[in-house]
Amino acid sequence: MKLYSVNAGHFKLDGGAMFGVVPKSIWNKLNPADENNMCSWALRCLLIEDGNRLILIDNGMGNKQDEKFFGYYYLHGDDSLEKSLKKHGFGFDDITDMVLTHLHFDHCGGSIQYNSDRTKLEPVFKNANYYCSAKHWEWATHPNAREKASFIKENILPLKESGRLQFIDETSSLIPNLSFIEVNGHTEAMMLPLIQQKENTILYAADLIPSAAHLPIPYVMGYDVRPLETLKEKEHILNRALEHNWKLFFEHDPLIELVSLERTERGIRQKDKMLLSEI
């Protein structure tokens, strides 16, 4: 098994929304905001090569939305999903399995594209099956008012129409050494991939812990639908990660890909930071 970090670009979100009840005087030191209170965040995906399987975990926000949409989220930088895959010698048609932790636009928007004349939506990964939680699918296709703007139908409905959508839960294992942990604080039934690679165990933390700056238990995003549940899930998973020496892979940290953990007087915190390619 080989693992590759794949950056689909960077985007901006309001710093206050990303850190919830944490005061700006604190979070601004962790990820400084621009003049509009916006912080830059990564769209970092994970690629697993295992024999003839090429499994991509999340795929960023894509590029099919209109100018108004990107005016809110400021997609920027030189990276793209296509270019980042190409750096590792792969293309869209090589992907065999597309795992979606959840269906917020910044995690699944790269799943679907317009055809050449923009008359039809079609899967980006033509040879892949797409996977998400059945409970989350139901949640996303019947959205609540709080999350509705994050569930864009153009990203979601064509997945089922393609006939390539399959459902996973905590009992699923697409390949040996890949399992899933369900969490429900950020959104209903978000699936966190857990990968065993030789002596390393890596948790793809998705939006439970979007960055190293979110390691403190109370640092919970304002986007979470059940913030008190997130508190419990973070505490449980961080303790489990420390006990079993897991490394955490961050989807949205603008600078840090991967960390090991240690217990400090302030709680469980980052020990060492590293690149995925270094382990």
Which two three-digit tokens encode residue 243?
């006990």
When the pLDDT of each residue in the chain is averaged and rounded to a whole number, the result is 96
Which two three-digit tokens encode residue 8?
């689909």
Tell which residue, 51, 55, 1, has the closest CA to residue 193.
55
SS3 helix, strand, coil % of the chain, rounded to 5? 25, 30, 40
pLDDT of 198 strictly over 90: no
Question: What does the pLDDT average to over 229-253?
Answer: 98
Which residue type occupies 140? A
pLDDT of 133 strictly over 90: yes
Which residue type occupies 263? R
Fold of 2-278: Metallo-beta-lactamase; Chain A (3.60.15)
Question: What does the pLDDT average to over 107-130?
Answer: 94
Which residue type occupies 4? Y
What letter would DSSP give residue 108?
A: H
pLDDT value for 108: 98
d(CA 56, CA 100) in angstroms, rounded, equals: 9
Share above pLDDT 70 across residues of the chain, in percent, rounded to a whole number: 100
pLDDT tens track for 91-104: 999 999 999 999 99
Confidence of residue 119 (pLDDT cuts 50, 70, 90): confident
Q: What is the DSSP string of 56-69?
A: EE-----S-S-HHH
pLDDT value for 278: 93
d(CA 189, CA 170) in angstroms, rounded, equals: 10
Residues facing 3 on adjacent strands: 48
Share above pLDDT 90 across residues of the chain, in percent, rounded to a whole number: 94
Confidence of residue 188 (pLDDT cuts 50, 70, 90): very high
Question: What does the pLDDT average to over 55-80?
Answer: 92
d(CA 152, CA 143) in angstroms, rounded, equals: 10
pLDDT of 67 strictly over 90: no
Confidence of residue 88 (pLDDT cuts 50, 70, 90): very high
pLDDT tens track for 147-186: 999 999 999 999 999 999 999 999 998 999 999 999 999 9
pLDDT of 9 strictly over 90: yes
pLDDT value for 117: 84
Which two three-digit tokens encode residue 44?
């970092």
8 A C-beta contact, residue 196 and residue 177: yes
Question: What does the pLDDT average to over 38-62?
Answer: 97
Spell out the domain ranges in the chain.
2-278
Which of residues 279 and 48 earns the better pLDDT score?
Answer: 48
Least confident of 5-19, 114-128, 203-217: 114-128
What is the SS3 assignment for 103? coil
CA 248 to chain centre: 12
Parallel, antiparallel or unpaired: strands 97-99 and 112-114: unpaired
Which of residues 249 and 68 earns the better pLDDT score?
Answer: 249
